[in-house]
Structure 1
Amino acid sequence: MYLAMNRFTVKTDNAEAFEALWLGRDTHLKEMEGFREFHMLKGPEREDGTILYASHTVWESEETFRAWTRSEQFRASHAKAGGPDKLFEGHPQFEGFAPIQHIG
């Protein structure tokens, strides 16, 4: 298993448009070998007027995740990610995790 996350800091004024962009896009994830699940997570509004979002995908392995990042499906699903107006602050912060323990 490999877990890949991107964190986005979004101004509250852009939250509705950011969510609409994510909820309306075609991800192509289900076409990829090794893809297990996707979640878009929303944190609470912070005192500085931003909300932290995290996209979270679970993959069979780091290799299947890396294959996704080099695929046509990846390019197609991210083609409109920036859009005409950038809806988040700075760059997404990527974090990748490999398991050291699993309790089921």
Structure 2
Amino acid sequence: MSQKIIETIDNELKMLVERFMENTNLEVATLIEASKKSDFLTINRIGHNMKGSALNYGFKHLADLGRSIEKAGANEDVENIKQLLISLKDYVARVEIKFERN
């Protein structure tokens, strides 16, 4: 079994995190489709939005992935995008959310 990726999120956001993760799963699917079509604009946009949203919620690892996806989309870096999507799917499968008061 793979090791979990722990994200520590403010307890006040607990009610919003489930929907955020649902949206993240939708973004993964959209990114996969965009990569199949070499739609770099969509990849760049979703990466940018993912980075910002993840930072707002406190998902540091996800924000880093979003930043990298945004950059790879801007550079039209097909091979890097493929690797980042593998990493993103792995992240979603392994992330464990811990809620704490800040």
Query: Could you tell me the TM-score, scaled by structure 2's length?
Result: 0.33
Greater per-residue helix proportion: 2
Query: Which has the larger Rg?
Result: 1
